[in-house]
Structure 1
Amino acid sequence: MDEYLSAAPVPPPGLAVGLDIGGTKTLGVLLAPDGEVVAQARLATRPGPTDVLDGAVRAVEGVTRQAGVAMSDVVGVGVGVPGLVDADAGTVRHAVNLGIDGRPLALAELLSARLGGVGVGIENDLNAAAVGAAHLLEAEEGHGSADLAFLALGTGLAAGLVLDGRLRRGAHGAAGEIGHVPVDPSGPPCACGQRGCLELYASGSAVAALWPTTSDRPAPVELFEAAERGHLDAMLARDRYARAVAGAVRMLVLSVDVRHVVLGGGVAQLGDPLLDAVRGALEDESAASAFLRSLDLPGRVRLAPGRVSVGAVGAAVVGRGRFTLPASAA
């Protein structure tokens, strides 16, 4: 069932809508000119190009209807979507969880036509989340926060990068794909064709391998709760996982020296217990290295802001025209 959340009073014109389209749900936000979220929506996602497009239209109409504004007041719509995204062309392909195959779907053009011609921007969902985290941290901390890596701890492992306020996609769209950096050449095979990739140790799937769940509850929740109860094997597994995530943090800081590494994705829903474990691992690593201590790695790590969907907020920022670069400048 489509579920619409509460909205704030009617905002002034100059608004942007952002959508985070996932395999099971579509999250929408209405972003005011001052950067505040004034309406939110949550809808079930139905697979297939036609249903994805219809769902996007319903989400946009839902947040504008809540706020009592017309589409003519919306300056842009942004969409964060999984799969292979061509941000310049406004297309997406190989979004398997959405039922979108290898043929490019002109999502930006089609959605714009359904919404009366408003400009629509498309971005990879991880990049949109990085933009959203940067936007929300800037609102909390002021200038200087739009320099971060959004480390997504989900089924896989990857980072979205916002460097000095600009989204970094990379020459081939592979910026932040640290999950496929081998950390143990003699380790198990990875789906990418290499062996011992970081993703095998620091992703959400890695938690399930370390601590197979005995119920329908997520493996990370079971692992951390068991460790909190003093279960020795769980404590060892938790600390092993935290060291792997700390390795990902260290890799990001030492490669691009971001101000923040923001933990997001499904595992990050653990909240403070995960943050404390990762910071503890970074402190242990820094104890033997004056160089690492000088970089204050534990102080750079934080959780993604949790009150709204960072992906939907980032998509709204993309729709407003910020944090987007032409391919030649990315």
Structure 2
Amino acid sequence: MRLGIDIGGTKTAAVAIGADGELSDQVRMPTGFGAEAVVATALRTVERMGQLAGLHAASFTSIGIGIPGAVDSATGRVEHAVNLGLDGLDLGRRLSDRLGIDVRVENDVKAAALGAHHLLGARAGAVDGAGRPGATSMAYLNLGTGLAAGVVLGGRLLRGGHGIAGEIGHIPIDPAGVMCGCGQRGCLETVASGLAIARTWPTDSEHPARELFDAADAGDARALEVREEFFAGVATAVRLLVLTVDVDAVVIGGGLAALGEPLVVGTRRILNRWAAESAFLASTDLATRVQVVPPGFPAAAVGAALVGEHPWLKSSS
């Protein structure tokens, strides 16, 4: 049984995957802040999952961790996970020493890409005896506070030469746009992310994106304009991913994926409009490639479980 843990800024989620590819019960708990608290959270999660599965930690076939920040997947070291209070932590080594089993660590978006890929394979019935999906190529478009992507090609996670493959949120698309937190101007993240919605649709609501969509559905002119700009930004991300790596599917995940079908419909509408104006884009069938992660599917935790296996650690470049 493979164990996957998704360590987020406020909560940690875990799931185990059996030999048949089926998911076990899930565990959720608060995430501690700071290096020692993050390690303690991971250890408590492993202990709790072991209790549910009736296993000692060392009896799991593999353990994988998905976590924000810059991750060296070869060493398990995490850097710049600001929301977790981590400036540098040898998380993989620390956990391996305590648990007596190799623990592999991956960036959370890249882990979620593997989880979404697993889901696609399961839906298509293309899962082998070890629960691994077939070679469908896929990009996972993470729409949360920011924007990033993870790409799986030929069953392998694309990391690139320096581990930053998929950081499309920091590709400038508008030289006259607003400044991005990365120091560039007009990045894709400034038009298609939770931060972008918060800037263009100021509100005291705990769910500004949902309020924006509701206001647009009610006919509010400003809301319609802001939502259309957001759809165009998401469509731009889809176009960029497909034209760069020609993936079979672009699966939208992250916090904004909770917008569900309206997000997919709006994005497809923009893509179809562009296709009507370009025979080349029409030939790529961009709109048909867009999907959204089902509500409640723990993509990052599932992907983390797969990261724990040596075959998934191999990268494309």
Q: Give the aligned partner of residue 272 of structure 1.
A: 261
Deviates more, 1:248-257 or 1:58-67: 58-67
Q: Give the aligned partner of residue 230 of structure 1.
A: 219
Deviates more, 1:68-77 or 1:86-95: 68-77
- Which residue of the other structure, out of 55, 66, 89, is the alignment partner of 1:69? 55
Q: Give the aligned partner of residue 105 of structure 2.
A: 122
Query: Would the aligned equivalents of 2:135 and 2:153 in 1 still touch at CA under 8 Å?
Result: no
Q: Give the aligned partner of residue 130 of structure 2.
A: none
Give the letter aligned to residue 143 of structure 2. L
Q: Give the aligned partner of residue 199 of structure 1.
A: 189
TM-score by length of 1: 0.90
The aligned runs of 1:86-235 (5 Å cut-off) are 86-101=72-87, 103=88, 105-115=89-99, 117-143=100-126, 146-213=136-203, 215-235=204-224
Residues 220-248 of structure 1 show CA distances to partners (whole Å, capped at 9, x for unaligned) of: 10100111112222112111110111011
Query: Would the aligned equivalents of 2:66 and 2:301 in 1 still touch at CA under 8 Å?
Result: yes
Cα distance change of structure 1 residues 315 and 23 upon mapping to structure 2, 3 Å threshold: same
Q: Give the aligned partner of residue 300 of structure 1.
A: 289
- 1:17 equivalent to 2:41? Answer no
Give the letter aligned to residue 192 of structure 1. C
Give the letter aligned to residue 147 of structure 1. S
Residues 57-82 of structure 1 show CA distances to partners (whole Å, capped at 9, x for unaligned) of: 11111122112233343111000011
- CA–CA distance in structure 2, aligned partners of residues 124 and 18 of structure 1: 13
- Which residue of the other structure, out of 246, 252, 264, is the alignment partner of 1:263? 252
- CA RMSD between the two structures: 1.5
Give the letter aligned to residue 13 of structure 2. L
Give the letter aligned to residue 155 of structure 1. T
| Structure 1: segments with no counterpart, 5+ residues | 1-14
Residues 22-53 of structure 1 show CA distances to partners (whole Å, capped at 9, x for unaligned) of: 11000001111121111210010011111111
% same residue: 50
- CA–CA distance in structure 2, aligned partners of residues 170 and 91 of structure 1: 18
- CA–CA distance in structure 1, aligned partners of residues 197 and 102 of structure 2: 41
- 1:284 equivalent to 2:278? Answer no
- CA–CA distance in structure 2, aligned partners of residues 66 and 89 of structure 1: 29
Give the letter aligned to residue 24 of structure 1. T
What's the secondary structure of 1:322's corresponding residue? Answer: helix
Q: Give the aligned partner of residue 129 of structure 2.
A: none
Give the letter aligned to residue 28 of structure 2. R
- CA–CA distance in structure 2, aligned partners of residues 40 and 108 of structure 1: 22
Deviates more, 1:236-245 or 1:316-325: 316-325
Q: Give the aligned partner of residue 81 of structure 1.
A: 67
Residues 170-217 of structure 1 show CA distances to partners (whole Å, capped at 9, x for unaligned) of: 11112111111111112222222222111111111111122112x332
Residues 249-285 of structure 1 show CA distances to partners (whole Å, capped at 9, x for unaligned) of: 0011001001111111111111111111111111111
Give the letter aligned to residue 86 of structure 1. D
Runs of 4+ in 1 over 4 A off after TM superposition: none
| Structure 2: segments with no counterpart, 5+ residues | 127-133
- Tell me by how many angstroms 1:55 deviates: 0.8
Query: Would the aligned equivalents of 1:135 and 1:146 in 2 still touch at CA under 8 Å?
Result: no
- CA–CA distance in structure 2, aligned partners of residues 194 and 232 of structure 1: 30
- 1:49 equivalent to 2:49? Answer no
Q: Give the aligned partner of residue 320 of structure 1.
A: 309
What's the secondary structure of 1:37's corresponding residue? Answer: coil
Aligned residues: 310
TM-score by length of 2: 0.94
Q: Give the aligned partner of residue 39 of structure 1.
A: 25
Deviates more, 1:183-192 or 1:253-262: 183-192
What's the secondary structure of 1:160's corresponding residue? Answer: strand
Give the letter aligned to residue 2 of structure 2. A
Give the letter aligned to residue 264 of structure 2. L
Query: Would the aligned equivalents of 1:153 and 1:266 in 2 still touch at CA under 8 Å?
Result: yes
- CA–CA distance in structure 2, aligned partners of residues 186 and 236 of structure 1: 19
What's the secondary structure of 2:61's corresponding residue? Answer: strand
Give the letter aligned to residue 91 of structure 1. R
Residues 78-137 of structure 1 show CA distances to partners (whole Å, capped at 9, x for unaligned) of: 000111111101111221111112x3x22111112222x112110011110101110111
Cα distance change of structure 1 residues 271 and 145 upon mapping to structure 2, 3 Å threshold: farther
